[in-house]
Amino acid sequence: MAEKPEREPAEKAGRRWPGSPWSQNVGGVVEEMRPGYSRLSLVVEPRHTNSRGSVHGGVITSLMDAAVGIALRASHEPGDPDLAGQTTIEMNVSFLKPAPLGERLVAEARLLNKGRNLAVGDVEVKQQSGDLVAKGRLTYFILRRAR
């Protein structure tokens, strides 16, 4: 019987989050990831701000999407030959408080449900103080290879 390969996520904690050139441009660090859970952080830089000097909503939603996406990615079976990827199909976000330049934001994501084709996760973005900046729910379509 072949041994299951060790899951990759534990190795990525403390690194910049994986993904597209966009997510690499936004920046951020994966602090923790395990099946169904991730925690990412981002320090608000001048490039992340809107005209009022607080973090732009697009940066927050990028952080949220990455956090839930990483929690989902960490939950896939290693070496699943049918898995072709995943893509966000719905996002609902409530912006609750602005975050200023220099603030460290932490996004914690948890999967609520994962089926064969769809997954749903919740995410909260908080300031270092624990104040809630935004809360969201995302739905992903799990891409499968044609048989």
Segments making up each domain of the chain, as ranges: 9-144
Given a cut of 80, whether residue 2 has pLDDT beyond it is no
Residues 129 and 24: their CA atoms lie apart, in Å, by 26
Question: What is the pTM (predicted TM-score) of this model?
Answer: 0.86
Residues 144 and 117: their CA atoms lie apart, in Å, by 8
Architecture field, domain 9-144:
Roll (3.10)
Range scoring the smallest mean pLDDT among 3-12, 18-27, 77-86: 3-12
- Per-residue pLDDT tens digits for 70-108: 999 999 988 888 899 999 999 999 999 999 999 999 999
Neighbours of 104 (CB within 10 A): 13
- Per-residue pLDDT tens digits for 50-64: 999 999 999 999 999
Given a cut of 80, whether residue 135 has pLDDT beyond it is yes
